Each structure stands twice: as structure tokens, then as C-alpha cells.
Structure 1
Amino acid sequence: METDASPEHTESGSATAEQDDPIKGLARGGSPVALSVLDLSTVGVEHSPSDALRTTTELARSVERWGFHRLWVAEHHGMPGIASSAPAVVIAHLAAHTTTLRLGSGGVMLPNHAPLVVAEQFGTLQALHPGRIDLGVGRAPGTDQATARALRRTTGLLSADDFPQQLGELIAFLDDDFPVDHPYAAIQSVPHGPMPPVWLLGSSGFSAQLAGALGLPFAFAHHFSAQNTLPALQLYRQSFQPSEVLAEPYALIGVQAVAADTDEEALDIIRPVALSMLRLRRGMPGKQPTRREAREYPYTELEQSFIDSWLADAVYGAPESVRAGLDELRERTGVDELMLTANVPDRDSKLHSFELIAKAYRMI
């Protein structure tokens, strides 16, 4: 059941959040690192976008109680199985239904937007919920080329080459720090105030090096680019330059993680996610299939190879198996924070998964 947070709760929650480091997560219970959540508001064939967004809202309220540090939502377009196409709108809704949980974008795909618009959106979120907002940005479109052109209102060639310039403009708008001779020097984003932390997201080495050079925190998409995780983290750490934001590197990775009462049930829950990824890679995005469809799908040898490879990079099973897998991944990568995602549309399975993980780490 959802209830709006009262002004008193929102105010006290914001004050509590402001006492924490605006970037670094807090490890709770028996967890050696902070645990956070990435949610895509997954839509299944038996669900509606409204169902998915209600589940995301309930998830945010629940993981706040269970001691997770932050929850991010991601920008995707033209994908019937993902309802979080407008992160700023979703974040505003989630922030109104929670009190202390950090909320942010994982991320906003900056090439799709004018930097000033993003600065205004997240400046507004920060004004409404001081000390609770993260701004994660990426350079991929988060969609196909035709949809990206519609978003950007251009018929020209699309490229991410100007991302560093766009990022520089975004940070300058947030900081009100353009050089005096810059064309935008007289423009101020409004509302304006202390800027939310800016994170760089990536699935390759480009954003890793850029985040390091700028001294920004880095979030790597291990959940769909596991083969690049260690090289990207190494590049980030090697290229890191201390800044006003960070004195030393701070990195998190996204991890597909599903816990259930048994290993067999966890596999049954996560198998439709793998089938959805197979269809996405083949240019056939859609709503997530049911467990039965994924179980009975006539996989070819090549398709089964993809599924097996994808599952090998996920962490799933009974709670202690999931904890062991997450602990091994943290030790292998040396990351400061794990951001767990369970891209399943079923409300009960998703909430139960995160509750089991919280209990496995003695957070509740």
C-alpha cells in the first residue's frame, strides 16, 4: 500500500540523508560494502506499465526499510518491457514516497537531451529533496538509431563524440561555473543550489577514463558487459585524478542478482530475463515473457549458448549462494559498492528477492 510522505517526514528524511557522504555508500549489517538497487520498472506480458511502476514504488519503500543505500532508475526508449523512459519523473515520484533513500538516474542518456534541461530537472529534484538525489549520466542513446533521432530532432549522423563537451556544459550549469567568455556564461539553470553528485556510467573504457580524469565516481554496467568489467575498472583507477568531488576513486558495478528460497526457483525466475536479453540482442525488444514460456522455449544450440553465457554473469540462487557470489565478485573487482538489479516483473518475486538478500547480509 502506498501513502504520500508527509512534509515532516520528507524534511527529516532529507536532513538524515545530508549527514551521509553524498557519494560514498554506507555498508550495513554484515555487508562488507554498500548495497544499492537499480530498477528498470520491468513490464511482463501479464503486466501493464502501471503495474511495473507501482512495483518500483513499493520496491523503493521496501529497500529503504531494509537498509539499501540508493535506488536508481534507467532511461530506455522504444522498449515495451521497460517503463522507466523518463527517469526524472520516476525519481520525483519515488522521492515523494520515501524519506531517506538516495534516488537517482542510472542513468540519463545525455546525448538525448540539452544539458541545460537535465540541469534544470535535477536541480528541481535536488530542491524538492535536498541531499537525496544522484545524477548518473551515460553517452549511449539507450535505444535504436531511429528513436534516438526522434528524441534529438535531427536527421544527421548520430555520434557520442561530443559527450565530453555536453558533460562539461552540464557540470558548468549545475556549478554555475562557465568561463566568463563562454557563450552560456550569463545563463543560470533554475532552480539552482548545491548540485547533486554527478556519476559517469559506462560499459567500456571510454567513460572509465573520462570519469577518472575528471575525478568523478564511476558506475560500470557489469550486468550486461561483464567481459569489460575488470579492464574498465583498471582504466578508471589508473586515470583517476583527485578533484573537489573525490580524493580517491569510487566505483560501483551493476549486478543482475536474484535470490529465491531454492536454487531451482531462482533459475526459474531469472530465465525469462535471459530470454528477454536474447530477444533484445536480436533487435526484438518486447515485454518480458512468462516463466513457462522461457522454460518451454525451443532454444537452438546458439541461443542456448547465449543464455548460458548470460546466466554465468548473473548471481542467482538461494540466499547464501547469492551472498557468496556477490562477495566473490566484490573481492575480484575491488569495487566500493554493489548495485543489484532484478529485472523481473512479478512484484512478489522481486520484493522477496531483495528481502532475502538483505537478510543474508544481516541488514534486517
Structure 2
Amino acid sequence: MQFGRPSGTSPFTLSVLSAGGTGVGMTAGEGLEGTISLARAADQRGYHRFWMSEHHGMGATSVSSPPLMIARLIAETRSLRLGAGGVMLPNHAPLLIAEQFGMLEALAPGRIDLGLGRAPGTDGATAAALRRGAEANDGFPQQVLELLGFLGDVFPPGHPYRHVHAVPGPWQAKENRVPASLTAPEVWVLGSSPYSAQLAGQLGRPYAFALQFGDADIDTAMRLYRESFRPSDMLAEPHTLVSVPAAISDDPAEAKRQAATSAMAMLRMFKSEGYLLLPPDEVEAYPATVQERQILDTYTSRSFHGTAATVADRLEALHEHTGVDEVMLVVGGHSTTLDQLGITLIADHYALPHLEAPLSAA
């Protein structure tokens, strides 16, 4: 497995995760178009990856099915790696995910990432509607092994799925007497806990740490991942990514307003009022209690917000502290226009290359 890094002055690989897309006052179609435009901008400004997360029952999210959106974005981008950050595997049958990402890999060889998470990506009632049982998380390691078995068609003799094959995949190529693909979906383990870190290390897979969720202990997770890492046929040494919430503008006050919209969405989620991205003016006018104000201020300050230079300083401090290989900017405030401006400003700051747009997006 090869991990590239765009040229430029950044000491780490830069990528983007779209976390929202549909703010209050926008239609679902407008939210999806915003995500498409963001991916185009990331592709044309030399970012390495563009990921989307699987969420359900949230008014602010535009993407509930990353595989469907990846299929669209393949035609809208040229060199950007496209992926799920991630697929919540306990919500799905591993065979189905192997088939979906096998198809995506066949459409865009060498450009597909598959990040795996174990959270439901929603509330308890919606998780139940997804037919997710209360013990779903307990089976996550076995589900990951099944998925890897289907992707590589490598179940040992005697395994109950030895003669079950994901199509497209290596088995189909053999049956049709053609060479097997030289590439495969790049499988990542996602998380924000020691559990996920150790699993990624034991499987010899790259590890993506989500720093946008609460007071996650990144130091312990990175140490455990590196200590438990076992080289695999896909990865010879540890490879790490950290995702951080970001809001960037030439106007620091406007960047903070954008960050506050995401903070308000988190507060609403804690209050079981639904994850919505309210307009900044409405967020500022909200009569928060003392406890609510503390939550809003905490999540706003956790966001890497400000000018490109200010945000870059925080990113570099994080990189120096953790030694991660990649940094992923998680954008998803009320304004998709500001999200796109933000990743452009960071690209300019680090002199990332300007790339030609694909014909379909011209």
C-alpha cells in the first residue's frame, strides 16, 4: 500500500472530510450540490483524500450513503482519493460492503478508501430501525475480518464463507480468465478510543483518529496503535491520520461564527433536539443557559477556526505533538461556500498545486 503526499510546503498530507452539507434554509439537493462542489475544489487544489461519514436521521447531513456519493464524485474529480470516513460496519452485512466498494474500485482503480467505524452514526431508535442489535459493537472485529476476507477472497478451507465471493473482486477475475486488479480499496480503521487503535494495529491497517468528538485521548490511542502494530500484506509500518474540525476565513470573526454553527448542532444533539446547522445570526441570538454556553464555547474553541495562518499554526502544533502522517480538515458549518473558501485558503497557505478539472466538471 502506497501513501502519497501532495507537493507543497505542508509537513503532512492534507485531506478533507465533509461532515454536513445541508444547513437550515437549504434543500437536500442544494446540500448535495454543496458537497459535490467541495469535492471538486479539494481535487483541483491538490488535497489527497475526500471522505464522507455515514449518518442517519440528522437534518444537517447530506450524505447518508457514502458509497452512492462516491460513485457520483468519481466522475466529478480527477486524482482525489474518495472514501467513507466511514461506513458504520455493524449497520451492514460485510458482503454487501465488499461488493459496493469492489464496484467503486473497478470504476476508479487506486482511488477508493474504505474507513470502518463501529458507532451507529445515529440515535438509538434509528439504529433499531436499521436492524442494529444492542450487541452490534461486540461483533465489530469479526465483521472487519469477514469484510477483509470478502475483499481479498482469502477465506481459508473449511470457513463457512469459503465459497461465497464478492463481485467484483479477485474471484470474478479468475473466473473470467483475466488478471486480477493490481489495486484494492484502502481499508482504514476509524475511532477515537484505545479499542479502535489496538484493533487497527493488530490488523496492520492505517488508523484514523477522530479528534472532532469530545475529549478524546489521542496520545494514548496513537501510542497503543504504534505499540500493537503488526505488519500486514497491505502495510509494512504504522500510518496515522487525525481529523480535526475546521472553519477558515480571511475574517477571523466570520470563521468563529461558522464554527459556532457546528457547536450549536452538537448542543442540539445533546438535548435530543436533532443535529441542525442553524444560521449564524440565529446561533448568536440563542438565549443559552450557563451550562449551554459552556458547551457552545467548548465546541467552538475545539474547532480550528480563524485565518489560514492561525489554523495552520494549530495544525503544525498538533502534528509536532502527535507525529501523525496526515491531517484531515472536517468542514461542515452552515455555509458550504465558507467551507469551500476555507480549504482553498489552506491550500494557498501551503502552496498545494492547482490541478486541472475533469471534463465532466468543466
- The TM-score, its normalising length taken from structure 2, stands at 0.91
Structure 1 partner of 2:148: 171
Structure 1 partner of 2:359: none
- Determine the C-alpha separation between the residues in 1 that align with 2:101 and 2:73: 14
Structure 2 partner of 1:120: 99
- Determine the C-alpha separation between the residues in 2 that align with 1:314 and 1:48: 26
% identical aligned pairs: 46
- Determine the C-alpha separation between the residues in 2 that align with 1:276 and 1:157: 26
- Determine the C-alpha separation between the residues in 2 that align with 1:109 and 1:347: 25
Structure with the larger RCO, 1 or 2 (CA within 8 Å, 6+ apart): 2
What's the secondary structure of 1:182's corresponding residue?
Answer: coil
Deviations 1:95-132 (A, max 9, x none): 11111110000000000000000000000000111110
Alignment of 1:202-351 (within 5 A): 202-351=191-340
Cα drift, residue 168 of structure 1:
0.5
- Determine the C-alpha separation between the residues in 2 that align with 1:286 and 1:317: 24
What's the secondary structure of 2:22's corresponding residue?
Answer: coil
Contact 1:208/1:232 (8 A) holds in 2 = yes
Task: Name whichever of 69-78 and 347-356 sits farther off.
Answer: 347-356
Q: Is 1:90 paired with 2:79?
A: no
**Which one-letter code corresponds to 2:259 in the other structure?**
I
Cα drift, residue 148 of structure 1:
1.4
**Which one-letter code corresponds to 1:207 in the other structure?**
S
Structure 1 partner of 2:120: 141
Cα drift, residue 360 of structure 1:
1.1
Contact 1:258/1:266 (8 A) holds in 2 = yes
Where does structure 1 differ by over 4 angstroms across 4 or more consecutive aligned residues?
A: none
Deviations 1:242-295 (A, max 9, x none): 111111110101111111012112111211111001111222214310000111
Contact 1:45/1:288 (8 A) holds in 2 = yes
Alignment of 1:143-158 (within 5 A): 143-152=122-131, 157-158=134-135
Q: 1:54 aligns with which of 15, 21, 33?
A: 33
Contact 1:52/1:345 (8 A) holds in 2 = no
Specify whether residues 67 and 106 from structure 1 end up closer, same or farther in structure 2 by C-alpha distance, changes over 3 A only: same
Contact 1:47/1:345 (8 A) holds in 2 = no
Count of residues in Structure 1 that have an aligned counterpart in Structure 2: 341
What's the secondary structure of 1:254's corresponding residue?
Answer: strand
Task: Name whichever of 164-173 and 268-277 sits farther off.
Answer: 268-277
Contact 2:245/2:329 (8 A) holds in 1 = yes
**Which one-letter code corresponds to 1:148 in the other structure?**
A
Cα drift, residue 226 of structure 1:
4.2
Structure 1 partner of 2:43: 64
Contact 1:203/1:225 (8 A) holds in 2 = no
Superposition RMSD in Å: 1.4
**Which one-letter code corresponds to 1:227 in the other structure?**
A
Question: Runs of 5+ in structure 2 lacking a partner?
Answer: 171-182, 354-362
Specify whether residues 145 and 206 from structure 1 end up closer, same or farther in structure 2 by C-alpha distance, changes over 3 A only: same
Cα drift, residue 318 of structure 1:
1.2
**Which one-letter code corresponds to 1:91 in the other structure?**
I
Specify whether residues 82 and 290 from structure 1 end up closer, same or farther in structure 2 by C-alpha distance, changes over 3 A only: same
**Which one-letter code corresponds to 2:294 in the other structure?**
S
- Determine the C-alpha separation between the residues in 1 that align with 2:4 and 2:222: 18
Deviations 1:114-168 (A, max 9, x none): 000000000000011111000101111111122112212x6x5333111111110
